[in-house]
Structure 1
Amino acid sequence: MMVSANGGINQQRVAVCNAVAVARLLNATLVLPKLMYSSVWRDVSQFGDIYQEEHFINYLKPDIRIVKELPEELQSLDLEAIGSVVTDADVVKEAKPSFYLKYILPILHLNRVVHFVGFGNRLASDPIPYHLQRLRCRCNFHALQFVPKVQEIGALLIRRMRQNATQFGTLDHHLVGPFAESKLKGKRYHAHKASTRYLALHLRFEIDMVAHSLCDFGGGEEERRELEAYREVHFPALMEQKKTKKLPSPAALKSEGLCPLMPEETVLMLAALGFNRRTRIFLAGAHIYGGKSRMAALTTLFPNLVTKENLLSSSEIQPFMNFSSQLAALDFIGCTAADAFAMTDSGSQLSSLVSGFRVYYGGGKMPTIRPNKRRLADIFMKNNTIEWKVFETRVRKAIRQTKRVFSRPTGRSVYRYPRCDECMCNTDLSA
């Protein structure tokens, strides 16, 4: 079974874990997954540039057989001609195991090989056999370990966020392996130095998110023209919908909590939660829509806000430039290791994977701030006439309602909600 995973690094991670489960279901040997080149991400990185191949193969050996290449006798086959190429269009979203057994297994028996091209979110969360759900969990939280190159710079990034404290965090070893302890070497006499705490923030406000939302962000006619032009190129199906259907107005979308939080709104939320000018913030991602002017509110109130580009020297970050997936891996490490993690869009794949990782390894002590955008929208609409103390109380109440670590709801991703019998041995961790 071959898989070419599409999307960015986080979508590809989910695809790889799903592929492992499907290979086990079909009793197939899995060829080491390929990562598809995307015109959006423009990254030629392959699996071995991001994850440790040998660890991946050996860790999953009790569950499935994984090989690095297709056997020689199958390499000459024209897979498309013989019907062994299966695309996302051929597989329903959230397909059940029965779909694969009915439609894919016969192809595998007939041609001895099947190649999934795309393979995004193509395996259901429920109903699914216990051993397959457990295998997806093992793949995500154990089998996929970053290569030493990423781990080393990720450890450096964490260390600088903590201002070179000698303590290492709860999740560091799971993220950066042996490099979690490298900072202790030769510094035993400083072992008492406490770790500086920091907040990680994933501000999902890139142009693709902004344009696809169909919301209004106060930029007037110029903004509307710019976003409309972007949609014409990148979201033709959405543009077709706009022509044929009556879609909700920007105001209606906002009131329903369907618009991304703007940087200005994020500032208000964080300030209401008690974060202040002294707070050290690691900002994940890049290319915030609107650039420096849009970020001014954040950087003014939080002068200790930094990105990986600020933390690392040009020589340290140079090997990762032009490799967006490898840069995203550094963001994943910086966010997951943080003392607190705040997201502005709970639908983001990065935010989902980071929050799941923090639940799985955090022992109930790694808080994640997941705003209820509908509640916040109602509060923000009244912020011209509301007293700060009242505003602060309402924001904290809105955030508190999303604070608990829930057991995995039926049908929801095990990557985001690992607190279930198939994934975690102990599901009674305090929230």
Structure 2
Amino acid sequence: MVNPRSSSSYRLRRSRFVVPPTIYRLALILLAFSVFLFLVSQRQIPVFDRGPSLPQKSSELEERLWDSASGYGYRPCVKPTHKYAGIQKSTGATDHMFSPIENPKSERSSATAKYFLCAFVLMSYTLYCRFSPIFNFLLASSHYICDMVAVARLMNATLIIPQLDKRSFWQDTSTFSDIFDESHFIKALENDVHIVSELPKEMESAPRVRKHFTSWSSASYYEGMSQMWKDYEVIHVPKSDSRLANNDLPVDIQRLRCRAMYYALRFSNPIESLGKKLVERLKSHGPYIALHLRYEKDMLAFTGCTYGLTDIEAGELKILRENTNHWKMKGINSTEQRLGGFCPLTPKEVGVFLHSMGYPSSTWIYIAAGDIYGGETYLSDLRSQFPNLVSKVHTESLATVEELKEFAKHATQTAAIDYIVSIESDVFIPSYTGNMARAVEGHRRFLGHRKTINPDRKGLVKLFDMLEKGELKEDTKFSSLVIDMHKHRQGAPRKRYGSLPGSKGRDRFRTEESFYENPFPECICPTDHH
């Protein structure tokens, strides 16, 4: 409705201030000239394929896309504290003992140390571990191995190099030494834990027990478990699971986990060699993204996510889920999963996300994953937007058949190659949060908070659905929404998240952020910290 008072006031102002015709024509000419200059200048602004057309200098754009602020002033800190004591060697060639982690000045501590010395003269305490490959087996096993190093320290035990279960659905015959540098692992931890390659022959008939340790347990739990040495000389740990709590452990135990994970566990020479070659070849083209694209058959079946698939494909995944006994969830609503942010991003969605973040189509992207479900049928959507899409197996432009020959049929070894390329990438982006993504993120944090962008899947799905309905377009506005959504999801320093509000009992440990996903603050310190 028109306000009569404002209308009469407007007529009154017009009657008092009449614009001369010459000035009016001059104003129109200036306006037209300004529009012309604006259009010309707009043509000179570099446009990155539907990315944000905000007026940014090239250096500013490069910094936003690739820079990780040189570690934000933090550095790795894994040296033991002054309270930490290494292995105390006895006069015997094979006898050893562990001093307590902390050395409180008390008679009880002294007596305990002496007792362990005597005990180790009489018998060998051994932790014997076997790990079963599941999703992201390599990285999960790495976590468990490092946890068992810490457990061996807490229980004053010798650790046997783990045997890898060869009966898994991966049918991988790889041994520990095929994947990791075994001699380096033993040498790097020699001042922390006594480690041997195999159980000595004379110990094969020694009293032993199979023990399923409680997941996410404290240091005091394992110190209590040391009472088992009164009756047994070998403890066999048959089940893979999280062995130690994420939080509230002695700082020296936490740092031991980091020394084991980031220094002792080094990949075998063949894996290291090929991994470094792939990194060099990728970097020869400029900065690159390592994309952990979890659009794999087992992951889609496990999560029950079928968005964008055909009815036949959705049915195939449902059958796989129902026939896999250890997957407890059977009836899953795919739509609810997706809206809740519990589904891996599709290759097409990843392409839209990367463009919206501002990455040009010329960007080199390495796919760190297994076989993508549907193969090129679904990868083509991403490849059409980013032609320089490569992996270790899908193109000979990165690795030759001869180079990959010795790794054929060894999924754990090719996963290790993916890990190296992901750690060294300029940007790491996981399409779904799993063991691999968590491990890589934690390692990149440890190495200086290298840029790691975690897509907000729940928020992105809302935007993608609005695109599909025509309520949004892939333009500057859309890009700004995506960029703003991810300002604080790029690997900057922060303390590890605790349990979710409302979680109770042992369930609260499940909701804590993994120590290996973010070893801050125990293993990451300010540069001025001493």
Q: TM-score, normalised by structure 2?
A: 0.68
Counterpart in 1 of 2:402?
A: 315
Aligned counterparts of 1:199 and 1:428: Cα–Cα separation in 2: 31
- 1:232 deviates by 2.4
Residue 416 of structure 1 pairs with residue 503 of structure 2? no
Counterpart in 1 of 2:234?
A: 113
Mark the runs of 5 or more structure 2 residues left unpaired by the alignment.
Answer: 1-126, 499-511
Identify which of 273, 280, 283 aligns with 1:162.
283
Aligned counterparts of 1:371 and 1:109: Cα–Cα separation in 2: 51
Counterpart in 2 of 1:152?
A: 273
Counterpart in 1 of 2:507?
A: none
Residue 376 of structure 1 pairs with residue 498 of structure 2? no
Distance 1:198 1:372, change over 3 A: same
SS in 2 for 1:383: helix
Aligned counterparts of 1:50 and 1:116: Cα–Cα separation in 2: 21
Stretches of 4+ moved more than 6 A in 1? none
8 Å contact kept, 1:200–1:334:
yes
Q: Deviations over 1:139-181 (max 9, x none)?
A: 1111111111111111111111123xxxxxxxxxxxxxxxxxx
Q: Deviations over 1:209-249 (max 9, x none)?
A: 1011122322242122101111122246436x53xxxx5x3
Counterpart in 2 of 1:334?
A: 421
- 1:127 deviates by 2.3
Aligned counterparts of 2:275 and 2:327: Cα–Cα separation in 1: 38
Identify which of 281, 287, 306 aligns with 1:197.
287
Counterpart in 2 of 1:298?
A: 382
Aligned counterparts of 1:97 and 1:135: Cα–Cα separation in 2: 13
SS in 2 for 1:11: helix
8 Å contact kept, 1:231–1:238:
no
Counterpart in 2 of 1:217?
A: 307
8 Å contact kept, 1:273–1:396:
yes
Residue 406 of structure 1 pairs with residue 494 of structure 2? yes
8 Å contact kept, 2:130–2:163:
yes
Aligned counterparts of 2:229 and 2:180: Cα–Cα separation in 1: 27
Counting only pairs closer than 5 Å after superposition, residues 72-221 of structure 1 correspond to structure 2 as 72-77=201-206, 79=208, 84-86=209-211, 90-102=212-224, 104-163=225-284, 196-221=286-311
Counterpart in 1 of 2:128?
A: 2
CA RMSD of aligned residues (A): 2.0
8 Å contact kept, 2:339–2:462:
yes
Partner letter of residue 264 of structure 1? Answer: K
Partner letter of residue 132 of structure 2? Answer: N
- 1:270 deviates by 0.6
Q: Deviations over 1:104-159 (max 9, x none)?
A: 42333311110111232222112222211111011111111111111111111111
Distance 1:236 1:33, change over 3 A: closer
Identify which of 392, 410, 426 aligns with 2:526.
426
8 Å contact kept, 1:276–1:301:
no
8 Å contact kept, 2:247–2:515:
no
Aligned counterparts of 2:229 and 2:164: Cα–Cα separation in 1: 22
Counterpart in 2 of 1:44?
A: 173
Q: Deviations over 1:255-290 (max 9, x none)?
A: 211111111111110110112221111111121111
Identify which of 349, 354, 358 aligns with 1:270.
354
Counterpart in 2 of 1:184?
A: none
Partner letter of residue 11 of structure 1? Answer: A
Q: Percent identity?
A: 32
- 1:395 deviates by 1.1
Aligned counterparts of 1:257 and 1:33: Cα–Cα separation in 2: 36
Aligned counterparts of 1:307 and 1:38: Cα–Cα separation in 2: 27
8 Å contact kept, 2:307–2:335:
no
8 Å contact kept, 1:21–1:132:
yes
Partner letter of residue 152 of structure 1? Answer: S
Number of matched pairs = 380
Q: TM-score, normalised by structure 1?
A: 0.84
Partner letter of residue 524 of structure 2? Answer: M
Q: Deviations over 1:348-387 (max 9, x none)?
A: 11111111111111x34x2111011111111111113202
Identify which of 188, 194, 197 aligns with 1:59.
188
Aligned counterparts of 2:355 and 2:296: Cα–Cα separation in 1: 22
8 Å contact kept, 2:184–2:266:
yes
Larger CA deviation: 65-74 vs 145-154:
65-74
Pair member with larger Rg: 2
- 1:394 deviates by 1.2
